[in-house]
Structure 1
Amino acid sequence: MQTSTTSRRRLGALAAACLLSVALPTTAAWAQKSKTKAEPSVEAPAETPAVATAAEFSVAIPTIDAVDSNVDDETLREIFAGNVIDNAEDLAGLTATSITIPEITINATNTVDGETTTVGFVMSDLVFADVADGVAGSVSVASATFDVGEAGSGSYDAFTMSDFNIGALLGVLGLVDNVEPGEFQTIYSDFTMEGGSLSYPQIDCTLNPATAGEFKARPFNYSVPEMMQLVSTLSETETPSPETLGALLRMYADVLTAFEMSEVKYSGVDCSGTDDEGRPLTIAVGSFTMGPWTPGVYPAFSVEGVEIAVEGDGAVSLGSATFKEMDLSGPIAAIEAAPEALDEAWFVANARSLIPAFAGFSFDGLDIDVPDPETEGGRITASIGAFDLSLAEYVNGIPSDILTTGSNIVVDLPEDSDDEQVQQLLALGITSVDAGFTVDASWNEAENTISVDEVSVTGADLATVLLSGTIANATEALFATDQNEMMAAAMGIAIANLKVDVTDAGLSDIILARVAADQGGTAEQMRPVFAGLAEGTIVGMLAGAAEAQKVGGAVSSFVSGQAKQLIIELTAKEAPGLGLMDFMAAESDPTVLIGKVTIDATAK
């Protein structure tokens, strides 16, 4: 099947867009010959949606000043007007002292079902300098503007780049044969943009400067016309065939491994305007950074200094946030090993293999003050000092190493809350909570164990409760793709040891003061009473156990206030530990567990 005219037109637009570093519209403005590597193995859809479309596209280049160019002005005009394909060989070997285009004006209209969209784009003082054999020593643009009518407009200040390898770019797109398959070539380096502005209905934004380092690419394994046609099939049929889905996923996997890019830094944006109710609105981002892009790995990116505020309504601010990198090598390997046709059964069987290894995210300095949508006149005020989620060592799409932490999570408790726990805290005189937590656990494949290093909750000036231990009999089947196998493995795990560490930082004083007030006494008077009750209860429950007196004494010391930290450790007497059946039996009689564990307690 021959590459369609639409695909050829789209390829021409793509090539021109890459050359100009702007996204030129994909329209029916021109038709050129295209060079293909292979014919796409995709059947034409039986039916296509009946959507009435019409497009017009024009490029105006009044003058071109080419100094010592080996390509004539008329050919250069054709190239920058969009006809890259027919002149790809000449462009790949372009040599010139300089090529200056004072102005390029692009106008495009697109009508879909009677609705017309008009786009105008003007680029000023485009200069290619020191061009030798298809490589420009530098490329600069004095300014660029666009106008989409009522939808908005914008302008970009001067931007520059170095070592723009036009020939390598054309090779990556498959328009010339000058790059070996799999060979990465530098496309450009040292990109800078001085800033710009955007204007949309109700809001205006100022763009701050941006910089990027080196960008590399290799030739795609699929020809660009074939890629265009594959993508176009998604809009031509509601249900792509298994063959089309297979081709699309393999193309996607190929693209994800075709680029390398160094860090990109953008020094932020400031916006102001009004919301739908006419209230002043401000949005600001202090900076944005995207980490290095490597083949098959989506880079980490972070923002700093985020502020959103609506005057008279509310505000949200964020000190910084980072979305960590995402390793796509697992899904890419699964796609590369897949059959040509991918049906529903394949996706069901390989769903876990298609999950990328996401490393997590973090943020700090979050402050919220917004209206409560469920309470008239109420507000939600909260802040989070820091949060982090770190995921690693994925097994069949599941992270086997997890660490998540949160600190200074401050929430004001609403007095009119219907939540029973909130009302209990309010009854104790606690009007706000400053909390933190940690969950730290990892799977040890060699020992078939899960090490729970810490599961803790902390309330500032209240208490800290920390759990740690070892889960035994945790085999690789816990991560199996078969649900029944996973369930059977989960039922076979056992608790080998468990440690509970409680630190009182003031909570007991609050509770006892409340209880004492109800009894007409003081907290100091109530402590010995409750300490004695706790010790007697523990000794009674552990009757017959050698550790009963020691554990009871430690608990009594903690409740009496003589100690502020209580540590209780339980270790199973027999391997692998306490299993599901043990805990099921303990539901009706908890004392059955006493003879199966060694208990130790310490109060400090």
Structure 2
Amino acid sequence: MSIIAPTPARLPILAAACLLSVALPATAGLAKDKVKVTDDEPVALEMDYSVLIPTIDAVGSNLDNAQLSQILSGEIVENAEALSGLEATSISVPEITLSITSKSDDETQDATITFSDLVLEDVIDGKAGSISLSGINLLADDADFYFGAMSANNFDIAGVLGLYGLVDAAGQTDLETIYTDLVSEGGTLTSEDVTCNIGGVTGAEFKARPLKTSLVEMMAIGQAMEDEGEDVDPATMGQFLKMYADILTAFETSEVNFEGFDCNGVDEDGRPMTFAVAGMTMGGMTPGIYPSIAMDGFNVVVEGDGAFTMDSLVIKPMDLTSTIATLQAAPDEVSEAWFEDNARALIPAMEGLSLAGLDIDIPDPDNEDARIQAKVGAFDISLASYLNGIPTDFDVSASQIQAAIPQGTGDETFEQLISLGITDINAGFRLAAAWDAQSQTVAIEEVSVTGVDLATVFLAGTIANATEDLFALDMDASVAAGMAVAVQNLDLTVTDAGLSDIILAAVAAEQGADPATLRPVFAGLAQGSVIGMMAGAADAAKLGEAINAFVSGNARTLMIGIEAKSAPGLGMMDFMEAEDDPTTLLGKVNISAEAK
């Protein structure tokens, strides 16, 4: 997760980057740095850059061309106050060229970034009525990137400077508009191995407020964490967490739309491949709420190898309120023990995700002669009503899960299905439950598994004595609460959609018999077994009759209900006793049955 603003939301600032040097090195301190190639092998990276600005045409500007050139060359901090009060009818810069040379050991790489036709108009007291670029071109040793025209309105230069503490924001605490009406045309990326077409980006508005930690302080904290490595000082960690919590509430965006991209190239083995996303939409971000991200038309295809495609993917919003509150309450010095004690409280309230139209056809990494082939029509996870980092209301489902049953695995279930002649499945499932604090119950809305043309098993019920301690941060209290829950009632529904016909046909073939003659035999055996096991219980006869009708094929649906005779229900001790003698449960429940 981005700690400043989502990537699509930052794209419009690229236009302003020319003026504020967001895209340019801000200080001479960036000329030399170190990056880690491995955990224990630091390699020096030397970076030199130069900026060339042939001409600046400033009309009605209160800053001269020399000072504007300094700003555009990266001297933002030194000129922040003057920049925040910029006045101009227009400022036009036909071309800004940034040349970068980086050296690492014996390797040297060169890159040139050219910003074309930067134009600011109607600049009053540090706010531009409009800002635009006709294009950005990056030429590197191994790639050529071109990004087309982009523009935005109401660009608040002073607001950006105040955001990072480079100028006094005059006590501003509310979110204010930084820019509106972002339009970006997209571009292309060309290299030796891949060529990409990149779609445009649009966004209506971006708001922000000044951060409580200045840019200089942020850089100092970041540098301290890098210097301290894996053993970050607790005081440094405390500063970072406070800064992070503040950033999570400092931005707001409208919906941002990205037109997607498509790439063509070759993989590491030289095989042609394509990689594409038809489009993406990021929902509006508000303080403390990370937005939804929806992606359409995702596909990766490697010629002669395999493919992975997906019609749509939605990552649902996340509520960071609990996370932020925990970070804000953190002590000045944060130890590993604090993270362990507050791990659950740091978990954001994620609403889940969903996808549709997943299609996989790839080589099996564990068997060179086999492939993994599967399809999923739809999959959804919905989570809600979080308590101490745990969703107390959840719904997980999938439909049209289509796959070939793997052969030769030795798995007993797979082997049984194959022996029945079932080589492919089309299945689905759903698991949905919700906790009610007032009644202290968990309603099991549905636990089901469905096999198309096979069968459906559906279970619902109520778990009683489910206190709030089930979700307690104290693990001892949570375990104790789990031991105290009780099963109040269960309803089981089984629908035969063809599975019994397949089983009987296989058994009849082995015995050289007619499946139709075997059904009543098996039905009678099942009825007798149930009645015998229930040892004369009042519900035995009715249950036996229902099972007979189901097994004989006279009914396709069997419904069995179980309800505890006494409150709160069947507890842990009841089930432990039943491990040795299952019949002990019979006197504690009422059983109903129906076949139709």
RMSD: 2.0
Alpha-carbon deviations, 1:244-302, whole Å to 9, x = none? 10000110111111100111111110100101111101111100111111111211101
**Distance apart, 1:190 and its partner CA:** 1.0
- The one-letter code of the counterpart of 2:233 is S
CA 1:18–1:233 in structure 2 vs 1: closer, same or farther (change >3 Å)?
Answer: farther
Partner of 2:162: 171
Pick from 295, 306, 312 the counterpart of residue 303 of structure 1.
295
**Distance apart, 1:495 and its partner CA:** 0.4
Partner of 2:248: 256
CA 1:27–1:281 in structure 2 vs 1: closer, same or farther (change >3 Å)?
Answer: farther
In 2, Cα distance between the equivalents of 1:340 and 1:181?
Answer: 25
Structure 2 residue 181 is the aligned partner of structure 1 residue 182: no
CA 1:29–1:56 in structure 2 vs 1: closer, same or farther (change >3 Å)?
Answer: farther
- The one-letter code of the counterpart of 1:524 is A
Structure 2 residue 81 is the aligned partner of structure 1 residue 92: no
Any idea what SS the aligned residue of 2:70 has? helix
Structure 2 residue 198 is the aligned partner of structure 1 residue 210: no
CA 1:145–1:29 in structure 2 vs 1: closer, same or farther (change >3 Å)?
Answer: farther
- The one-letter code of the counterpart of 1:143 is G
**Distance apart, 1:429 and its partner CA:** 1.2
In 2, Cα distance between the equivalents of 1:510 and 1:518?
Answer: 13
In 2, Cα distance between the equivalents of 1:459 and 1:74?
Answer: 74
CA 1:499–1:374 in structure 2 vs 1: closer, same or farther (change >3 Å)?
Answer: same
Any idea what SS the aligned residue of 1:378 has? strand
In 2, Cα distance between the equivalents of 1:392 and 1:21?
Answer: 42
Any idea what SS the aligned residue of 2:232 has? coil
- The one-letter code of the counterpart of 2:154 is D
Partner of 2:215: 224
**Distance apart, 1:15 and its partner CA:** 13
- Contact in 2 for aligned 1:25/1:108 (Cα 8 Å): no
- Contact in 2 for aligned 1:52/1:114 (Cα 8 Å): no
Partner of 1:106: 98
Partner of 2:34: none
**Distance apart, 1:242 and its partner CA:** 0.7
Structure 2 residue 552 is the aligned partner of structure 1 residue 566: no
Any idea what SS the aligned residue of 1:465 has? strand
Once the two structures are superposed, the pairs formed by residues 112-123 of structure 1 within 5 Å of their partners are: 112-113=104-105, 115-123=107-115
- The one-letter code of the counterpart of 1:223 is S
Any idea what SS the aligned residue of 1:214 has? strand
- Contact in 2 for aligned 1:29/1:58 (Cα 8 Å): no
**Distance apart, 1:201 and its partner CA:** 4.1
CA 1:336–1:428 in structure 2 vs 1: closer, same or farther (change >3 Å)?
Answer: same
**Distance apart, 1:113 and its partner CA:** 5.0
In 2, Cα distance between the equivalents of 1:505 and 1:18?
Answer: 66
- The one-letter code of the counterpart of 1:298 is Y
- Contact in 1 for aligned 2:49/2:99 (Cα 8 Å): yes
- Contact in 1 for aligned 2:225/2:236 (Cα 8 Å): no
- Contact in 2 for aligned 1:16/1:24 (Cα 8 Å): no
In 2, Cα distance between the equivalents of 1:573 and 1:356?
Answer: 41
In 2, Cα distance between the equivalents of 1:27 and 1:363?
Answer: 45
Pick from 506, 512, 527 the counterpart of residue 520 of structure 1.
512
Partner of 2:182: 191
- The one-letter code of the counterpart of 1:429 is G
**Distance apart, 1:16 and its partner CA:** 8.0
In 1, Cα distance between the equivalents of 2:569 and 2:18?
Answer: 63
Once the two structures are superposed, the pairs formed by residues 282-297 of structure 1 within 5 Å of their partners are: 282-297=274-289
Structure 2 residue 147 is the aligned partner of structure 1 residue 156: yes
Partner of 1:128: 120
In 2, Cα distance between the equivalents of 1:535 and 1:30?
Answer: 82
CA 1:319–1:200 in structure 2 vs 1: closer, same or farther (change >3 Å)?
Answer: same
Partner of 1:39: none
- The one-letter code of the counterpart of 1:367 is D
Structure 2 residue 417 is the aligned partner of structure 1 residue 425: yes
Alpha-carbon deviations, 1:137-173, whole Å to 9, x = none? 11111110112323x3311011111111111111112
CA 1:281–1:240 in structure 2 vs 1: closer, same or farther (change >3 Å)?
Answer: same
Partner of 2:9: none
Pick from 437, 456, 471 the counterpart of residue 464 of structure 1.
456
**Distance apart, 1:104 and its partner CA:** 0.3
Alpha-carbon deviations, 1:290-331, whole Å to 9, x = none? 111111121110110011111111111100001111111111
In 2, Cα distance between the equivalents of 1:195 and 1:573?
Answer: 68
- The one-letter code of the counterpart of 2:345 is S
Alpha-carbon deviations, 1:386-431, whole Å to 9, x = none? 0000111111111111101100000012343432211211111111
Pick from 458, 466, 482 the counterpart of residue 474 of structure 2.
482
Any idea what SS the aligned residue of 2:112 has? strand
Any idea what SS the aligned residue of 2:28 has? coil
- The one-letter code of the counterpart of 1:395 is L
- The one-letter code of the counterpart of 2:445 is D
- The one-letter code of the counterpart of 1:23 is A
Identity of aligned residues (%): 51
Aligned length: 575
Pick from 236, 259, 262 the counterpart of residue 244 of structure 1.
236
Any idea what SS the aligned residue of 1:563 has? coil
Partner of 1:320: 312
**Distance apart, 1:29 and its partner CA:** 6.2
- Contact in 1 for aligned 2:207/2:252 (Cα 8 Å): yes
CA 1:443–1:18 in structure 2 vs 1: closer, same or farther (change >3 Å)?
Answer: farther
CA 1:365–1:307 in structure 2 vs 1: closer, same or farther (change >3 Å)?
Answer: same
Partner of 1:4: none
Partner of 2:536: 544
In 2, Cα distance between the equivalents of 1:93 and 1:341?
Answer: 39
- Contact in 2 for aligned 1:160/1:191 (Cα 8 Å): yes
- The one-letter code of the counterpart of 2:205 is E
Alpha-carbon deviations, 1:72-124, whole Å to 9, x = none? 21111111111122222222222222111000011223335555443321100
- The one-letter code of the counterpart of 2:528 is G
CA 1:582–1:422 in structure 2 vs 1: closer, same or farther (change >3 Å)?
Answer: same
- Contact in 2 for aligned 1:461/1:507 (Cα 8 Å): yes
- Contact in 1 for aligned 2:110/2:141 (Cα 8 Å): yes
**Distance apart, 1:218 and its partner CA:** 0.2
- Contact in 1 for aligned 2:18/2:115 (Cα 8 Å): no
Q: Which moved more, 1:519-528 or 1:311-320?
A: 519-528
CA 1:160–1:222 in structure 2 vs 1: closer, same or farther (change >3 Å)?
Answer: same
Pick from 432, 444, 449 the counterpart of residue 436 of structure 2.
444
Structure 2 residue 581 is the aligned partner of structure 1 residue 592: no
Q: Which moved more, 1:88-97 or 1:590-599?
A: 88-97
Partner of 2:4: none
- Contact in 1 for aligned 2:288/2:319 (Cα 8 Å): yes
In 1, Cα distance between the equivalents of 2:438 and 2:329?
Answer: 28
Structure 2 residue 24 is the aligned partner of structure 1 residue 24: yes
Q: Which moved more, 1:308-317 or 1:18-27?
A: 18-27
Alpha-carbon deviations, 1:331-382, whole Å to 9, x = none? 1101111211111221111111111111111101001111122223221111
In 2, Cα distance between the equivalents of 1:430 and 1:218?
Answer: 61
In 2, Cα distance between the equivalents of 1:500 and 1:183?
Answer: 55
CA 1:318–1:342 in structure 2 vs 1: closer, same or farther (change >3 Å)?
Answer: same
Structure 2 residue 234 is the aligned partner of structure 1 residue 277: no
In 2, Cα distance between the equivalents of 1:525 and 1:310?
Answer: 53
- The one-letter code of the counterpart of 1:469 is G
In 2, Cα distance between the equivalents of 1:489 and 1:58?
Answer: 66
Q: Which moved more, 1:80-89 or 1:241-250?
A: 80-89
In 2, Cα distance between the equivalents of 1:104 and 1:219?
Answer: 29
CA 1:513–1:26 in structure 2 vs 1: closer, same or farther (change >3 Å)?
Answer: farther
Partner of 1:42: none
In 1, Cα distance between the equivalents of 2:348 and 2:274?
Answer: 36
Partner of 1:603: 595
Pick from 292, 312, 323 the counterpart of residue 331 of structure 1.
323
